[in-house]
Amino acid sequence: MDGVTAAGVTARARIEARADGRGGTALPVLEGGGPLAPRRTRAHGTEARVLLVGAMSGPLGGDRFAVEARVGEGARLHLGSAAATLALPGQAKGEARYDVRIDVAAGGELHWLPEQLISARGSDLHVTTRAELAPGARLLLREEQVLGRAGEEPGRLTSRLTVRLGGAPLLDQELSCGPGAPGGWDGPAVLGGHRAVGQLVLVAPGSPANPAEARMLGEGTALMPLAGRAVLVSAVAPDALALRRRLDEALALLTADRK
């Protein structure tokens, strides 16, 4: 499953959550290692918690990282990462890949709240996050991209987020930035000089009958109801700290809305 070849490191984490029949969540599959080691942490009520702990840096050029998370009917899983992911240039030529696959069954709930992805100068990373939700599944997902470490030019980063609900597309967004990205990525239509960009997706079928209303949540942050019982918060910010502050405020608002 994990290995180091001349082309780069291949690493995969697999997590499967199932209702344990006693009101809690069991983790029959918890696999991974090296840069993607899943660690079970203290449960929170009926929710199992897992943290991805990286024992190596990366991804570097040529590396292949993958995370697979499956949440069964009635199970609740909170999946985070212990630290930011830092994309760096590597010895191996070519882009690195980071693929996240999420599968949530009806009545299951996944919170996928990793730390930031930082695109360092000279790196080349292609990220895909694909969530397949059954009707009645719940999802809270955050992704944050930071273009370069402090004061640094970014690397090349392409990130696609696809959420499907009951087999139909709910959200499909790709962002390409950095040297070699299609023109205008840093211009006034796309990022306009902002160095941090993020999204928060909430799919909550059990939420109140009146859906969330579209509104601005301060500068560079918009709350947008999607077609279906889901909302997206999209934000741009000058840096990682400001972005996290905006998304945390939005998250507090969204979770308060649900109560």
Partner 1 sequence: MPLMSRAALLVLADGRFPAGGHAHSGGAEAAVKAGRVTDAATLERFCRGRLHTTGLVAASLAAAAVLGLAADELDAAADARTPSPALRTTARRLGRQLVRAARATWPSPELDALAKAFPKGAHQPVVLGLTARAAGLEPLDAAYCALYESVSGPATATVRLLSLDPFDATGVLARLAPELDRVADRAVEAARRALTEGVDDLPAASAPLLEIGAQAHAAWPVRLFAS
Assess contact for 143 and 199: CB atoms under 8 A: yes
Residue type, 93: K
d(CA 69, CA 14): 6
Lookup: tokens for 253: 């608002």
DSSP secondary-structure letter at 160? Answer: E
Q: What dihedral angle (degrees, nearest 10) is formed by the CA atoms of 123, 85, 65, 125?
A: -20
In the complex, least distance from residue 79 CB atom to partner 1, rounded to whole angstroms: 23
Residue selected from 176, 242, 245, 251 as contacting partner 1 according to rule CB under 8 A:
176
String of contacts with partner 1 for each residue 24-63, x by CB under 8 A:
----------------------------------------
Which range of residues in 54-62, 105-113, 228-236, 239-247 is near partner 1 by CB under 8 A? 228-236
In the complex, least distance from residue 129 CB atom to partner 1, rounded to whole angstroms: 12
Paired with 144 in beta bridges are 198
How many residues contact partner 1, by CB under 8 A? 39
In the complex, least distance from residue 105 CB atom to partner 1, rounded to whole angstroms: 21
Nearer CB in complex with partner 1: 34/148: 148
Please tell me whether residue 172 binds partner 1 under the rule CB under 8 A.
Answer: yes
In the complex, least distance from residue 220 CB atom to partner 1, rounded to whole angstroms: 6
H or E element at residue 248: helix 240-258
Please tell me whether residue 236 binds partner 1 under the rule CB under 8 A.
Answer: yes
**Binding to partner 1, residues 142-171 (CB under 8 A):** 160, 162-164, 168-171
Please tell me whether residue 242 binds partner 1 under the rule CB under 8 A.
Answer: no
String of contacts with partner 1 for each residue 188-227, x by CB under 8 A:
xxxxx-x--x----------------xxx---xxx-xxxx
d(CA 102, CA 136): 15
Phi and psi at 155, nearest 5°, equal: -85, -165
Angstrom CA distances, 73 to 16, 112, 179, 182, 186, stand at: 11, 17, 43, 41, 42
Please tell me whether residue 187 binds partner 1 under the rule CB under 8 A.
Answer: yes
Nearer CB in complex with partner 1: 25/199: 199
Lookup: tokens for 194: 């902002």
In the complex, least distance from residue 113 CB atom to partner 1, rounded to whole angstroms: 19
Residue 34: closest CA among 14, 50, 13:
13
Assess contact for 164 and 132: CB atoms under 8 A: yes
Nearer CB in complex with partner 1: 79/235: 235
In the complex, least distance from residue 71 CB atom to partner 1, rounded to whole angstroms: 22
Is the previous residue joined to 59 through a cis bond, with omega within 30 degrees of 0? yes
Residue selected from 157, 235, 240, 250 as contacting partner 1 according to rule CB under 8 A:
235
Residue type, 169: P
Three-class DSSP category at 181:
coil
Residues forming the site for partner 1 (CB under 8 A): 160, 162-164, 168-176, 182-185, 187-192, 194, 197, 214-216, 220-222, 224-227, 232, 234-236
